[in-house]
Amino acid sequence: MARRYWRNTLIDAARCLPSQIDLAVSGTLQRLPELRNGYLEWVGPAARFANANFFGGALAEGLMKDSGGTMHHSKLVPGRPCLIVERGVATIYAVESLERARAASVAIGGGPVLLRDGQPTALANLVSLGQLQDTQYLARRPRNVIGITREGHIWQAGISPMTLAECQQMGVDFGLRDLMNLDGGDSMGVWEGSALTFGKAERRIVSALVMRQLLAEPLVPHGKPYHRLSTNFHESEFACKHCGVVMVADMLASKLQQLRDIVGSPVTITSGYRCEVHNRNVGGAPTSYHLKGEAADISCRLRPSEVARIAESVGFGGIKVYDTFAHVDIGPYRRW
């Protein structure tokens, strides 16, 4: 188990070999501590428990199969993803029938898939196809995710409130190959031994993900945490207000520092990087330089028109004056 911060968000992560993953299932809704202490179809040692499948009422959504070979009663939703272990190899795939799951040693349903072959999935497309509600897409809530590393290990994490887009960026930073969302919210809980180590586990659940034995060293994020960009600017100032992800071009940071040196007093970043959802929500242009981390809206003690003149002097390409702030970017020369 490793409790660490990823971009100012607390996560509790662990990994294990595919042969060490299992599923504990209860015939009725139970809280995780009750599951942990015997009210489940589970026998044997375990290093870690976490809530697993979604459920509606007392019926789980998505496949449930434990290493004993039992397929547990659940609601099959065609196309919903599932983590399965086949001959010691873990895979996340979209379920269309029960045949493959029957041949697997373990099956745990969830969704949506957040990473596939190291690349983020298009969550907005899932919303448009009706496979994901936009309220789920935009919500920041406690999460439980399960992934597969490039070495083929299974990686599970309990996460403090995060959007699905942030989970995607986290998976990229940790160098995961695949990543899938599991049950979360008020039911989010991680137990190691007899102690609740993460979350509150306030809601009753129908299944628990089990890791029998953990690998000694959890993954370390490949990506960098928020850090200082220059003397007066910090990466966190440019974080997307929707998902928290940061992208800042080096040239943008350099020119902003030059502008700050001339102004001689604090410069506030009112809008930095924008993901597609946030850019759409604020009415940004589809080709906005904010989408690439190459633009910033700024304000300071000077009038926006004065800020624009200084921005011109330090070589910003795109400059626009608004009532309370100025837009600057490192694109080609534009005034509008």
pLDDT along the chain (336 residues), means of 10: 72 93 76 54 72 72 79 71 91 79 85 89 69 66 93 94 88 91 86 81 82 80 70 90 79 96 97 89 93 94 97 97 97 95
Closest CA to 306 of 256, 259, 261, 273: 259
CB contact at 8 A, 218 and 190? no
| Per-residue pLDDT at 40 | 47
195-199 and 189-192 as β-strands: parallel, antiparallel, unpaired? antiparallel
How many C-beta atoms surround the C-beta of residue 212 within 10 A? 16
- pTM higher than 0.85: no
| Per-residue pLDDT at 285 | 93
Helix (H) / strand (E) containing 310: helix 304-313
Percentages of the chain per state (helix, strand, coil), in multiples of 5:
20, 35, 40
Q: Which CATH class is domain 235-335?
A: alpha beta
| Per-residue pLDDT at 67 | 82
User: Domain coordinates of the chain in residue numbers?
Assistant: 2-211, 235-335
The encoded tokens of residue 6 equal 């990823």
